[in-house]
Chain A
Amino acid sequence: MIKTAWLVLKKDLTVEVRSLEIAYTTLFFAISCVLFFAFALVKEGQAPEDGAAGILWIAIAFGGTLALGRTFERERQSETLRALLMAPAARPAIYVGKLLGIVALLVAAEIVLVPLVAFLFQAPLLSHPFWLSAVLLTGTIGFAAVGTLFSAMLVRARSRDVLLPVLLYPITVPVIIAGVRATAALLQPDVELALVRFWVALLIALDVVFVTLALWTFEPLMTD
């Protein structure tokens, strides 16, 4: 099963590395989001207090939605998803492989976004790199877990571009809130690590719930 997931991940990465289309477009879109917020909210060089955390996560959420849509659109166009599902591979393994691909893509985007947001909004995001990475990773996994499931479900649906945000955003609100609060806690001058630990624990719990639900429902949802 792990082998299948790894194969799916490798396939996705190979295809992506060839053109880097999704990586570039997602990154560009996320950076534009951050810049939009900078233009709208930074007045006379003063960023709004605690704005950085929210803006970072919004950029991740919007960029992630775009990445999800594009990834599965690519699958749909070459009908590879149907081929994947017809292959004698465990369905949950396919889901895990796709999930890891999306997480890798988003993490790559975050590596660029974090310094950008830290610079534009004068936020000391890089002061606790370990905890920030933990928050970003658990939050991204939670977001991607639901996103991968819904995007795969929507591949054959009508109005799939509009329906993905409609389905995804309400469900991932707890993940985004936890991510924002944890990041905001890390940006305080005197960081309360206990609070950050609490939010990370909540994020991990959410990840477990979402991934479990997704693994459980992936099979019936992808079968006609």
Chain B
Amino acid sequence: MPKWFIPVAAVTALMFAASPFLIANAPYEATMGLVQKIFYYHLPSAWVFLLSAIVCGIASARFLFGGSPRQDRLAYAAAELTVLFGAIVLVTGPLWARKAWGVWWQWDVRLTSSLMGWMVAWAYLLVRKYGGPGSDKLAAGLALFGMANVPFVYISVNYWRTIHPATSVVPTLPVDMGVALWFAVACFLLLFVLLLRLRVYLEEQRTRLDALYLSLDE
């Protein structure tokens, strides 16, 4: 593991521990009240979910066209993180929606396309696990299509009729809310980098193990 890992992990843990205080200090929202505070974890996880899908897509493209196993390991790790952060988004969202919208779920563009992107990441993991030989390329092809979905998920909420808040919410945030949000964003981004590095390390060890098995057969 690289030298920066432990210090960054310590900083991230401290930041996460501090985040609830910043969030509690942020003002309440006029119409949604207390439940709106889920926003401070929901939005950063959504951004990391989309970022992870992009990382997976780019790594998959580089793997498909360049054949580098390092990119393949990165893609696998990013896909797993897409599932993880997607799960966070898809659970915190409905918990917020239950109070703010009166329903747990709506089949509008934003939610449907996010769910779809999450399922693509799940499909990636299923293919890697059960696809047999050649499944790394299969999954890479899938990841490319998944990445094409990401811009759609982001802008869909601005062009379709939906009750999910538009992307204009973030630039127009008042300062006291902004502080809590951007702090949480920093937490989640750091966490993403840490988890990615950790998961890639696991893949590297697996590769090493495979190489050892192969050398044993000789």
Could you tell me which A residues sit within 8 Å of B by CB distance? 146, 149-150, 153-154, 156-159, 163, 166-167, 169-171, 173-174, 177, 209-210, 213, 217, 220-221, 224
Contact = CB atoms under 8 A, between A and B. Distances in A.
A166 B132 contact: no
Nearest to A159: B130
B163 interface: no
A224 B134 contact: yes
B137 A166 contact: no
A183 to B, nearest CB: 16
Contact of B141 (A158, A166, A221): A221
Contacts of B123: 166-167, 170
Chain A, interface SS category: helix
B159 to A, nearest CB: 10
A146 to B, nearest CB: 7
A157 B137 CA distance: 11
A213 B148 contact: yes
The 3 closest A-B pairs by CB, nearest first: A158-B132, A170-B119, A220-B64
14 contacts: A153-B138, A157-B138, A159-B131, A163-B130, A166-B126, A173-B112, A173-B113, A174-B149, A174-B152, A210-B145, A213-B145, A213-B148, A217-B141, A221-B140
Given A146-B145, A156-B134, A221-B140, 16 more contacts: A153-B141, A154-B138, A157-B127, A157-B132, A157-B133, A166-B126, A170-B123, A171-B116, A171-B120, A173-B112, A174-B113, A174-B116, A174-B152, A220-B64, A220-B65, A220-B137
Contacts, number: 74
Interface of B: 64-65, 112-113, 116-117, 119-120, 123, 126-127, 130-135, 137-138, 140-142, 144-146, 148-149, 152
Nearest to B145: A171
Contact of A153 (B132, B133, B137): B137
Contacts of B137: 153, 220-221
A158 to B, nearest CB: 3
A139 B131 CA distance: 28
B64 A221 contact: yes
A159 B64 contact: no
Contact of B132 (A150, A159, A217): A159
A150 B131 CA distance: 12
A170 B127 CA distance: 14
Contacts of B117: 170
A218 B79 CA distance: 21
B141 A177 contact: no
A42 B146 CA distance: 36
A166 B112 CA distance: 17
A169 B123 CA distance: 10
A163 B126 CA distance: 8
B86 to A, nearest CB: 12
A167 B124 CA distance: 8
Contacts of A157: 127, 131-135, 138
A173 B115 CA distance: 10
